């Protein structure tokens, strides 16, 4: 699992169109794999300290993703479906 994560991460950085930008939609795959790995560690871990640490990581990931999606979206007007008077 970790070898495939490293290979995909390498391909995302190499295949990135814009310099300094980490791959766009292809970067999602590595992020989702990492979140599932952390979730798996959260499920199987017996030590409460490590289990709480993985829970904090998962919670931080969800909060950061929701803030990034809702407040820092470059085109928030496209998310508004109430205005039907526009023409394409």
pLDDT tens per residue across span 17-74? 666 555 566 667 777 888 888 899 999 999 999 999 999 989 988 888 777 766 666 6
Contact indicator for 5, 34 with CB cutoff of 8 Å: yes
pLDDT value at 88 more than 60: no
Handedness of CA 37, 38, 40, 41 (dihedral sign): positive
Does 69 map to a domain?
A: yes
Neighbours of 52 (CB within 10 A): 12
User: How many structural domains comprise the chain?
Assistant: 1
Question: What does pTM read for this prediction?
Answer: 0.60
Higher pLDDT, 72 or 8: 8
Token output for 35: 């979140």
Domain hosting 13: range is 2-73
Does 15 map to a domain?
A: yes
Does 13 map to a domain?
A: yes
pLDDT for residue 77: 61
The span from the CA of 42 to the CA of 49, in Å, is: 11
Q: How confident is the model at residue 16 (pLDDT cuts 50, 70, 90)?
A: low
């Amino acid at each position: 699992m970790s070898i495939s994560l490293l290979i995909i991460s390498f391909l995302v950085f190499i295949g990135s169109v814009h310099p300094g930008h980490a791959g766009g939609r292809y970067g999602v795959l590595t992020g989702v794999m990492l979140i599932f790995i952390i979730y798996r560690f959260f499920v199987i871990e017996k030590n409460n300290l490590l289990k709480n640490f993985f829970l904090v990581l998962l919670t931080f990931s969800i909060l950061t993703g929701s803030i990034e999606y809702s407040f820092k979206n470059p085109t928030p007007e496209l998310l508004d479906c109430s205005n039907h008077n526009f023409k394409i």
